[in-house]
Structure 1
């Protein structure tokens, strides 16, 4: 496969986009875990949820 004179730009663009997408996926996973831990902490402190569900049921 020949990309011509713009090969470095094309490859750099694809690598950049892949890096951003992976970073966003990791960020969402980390934030999800952090929010679950925070919710468990609030429930352990006695806070109640309006939905009536516990953090274990939300999974």
Structure 2
């Protein structure tokens, strides 16, 4: 059953489409940033840089 949106249909449809587009762009941005960050961490691991949180308690001052 289709809902009648009346005279404001173009505005409503455009608003929903714009909101959906923003959500898709944000999801894409998050995915790309995640890949970038994991690649950076792999590069750091390969170069011998370790995380401070990875040290044992006896290593800390």
The interval holding the TM-score normalised by the smaller chain is: 0.7 to 0.9
Higher relative contact order (CA 8 A, sep 6+): 1
Aligned length: 53
Take 1:30 and 1:51, find their aligned partners in 2: how far apart are those partners?
25
Q: Deviations over 1:13-57 (max 9, x none)?
A: 00000000011011101101110000100111111101118xxxx
Give structure 1 regions of 4+ aligned residues with deviation exceeding 6 angstroms: none
Take 2:29 and 2:14, find their aligned partners in 1: how far apart are those partners?
22
For residue 3 of structure 1, what is the aligned residue in structure 2?
A: 5
Answer with 1 or 2: which has the greater Rg.
Answer: 2
Picking from 31, 34, 40, the partner of 1:32 is 34
CA RMSD of aligned residues (A): 1.2
Q: Mind listing any 5+ residue stretches in structure 2 that lack a counterpart?
A: 56-61
For residue 20 of structure 1, what is the aligned residue in structure 2?
A: 22
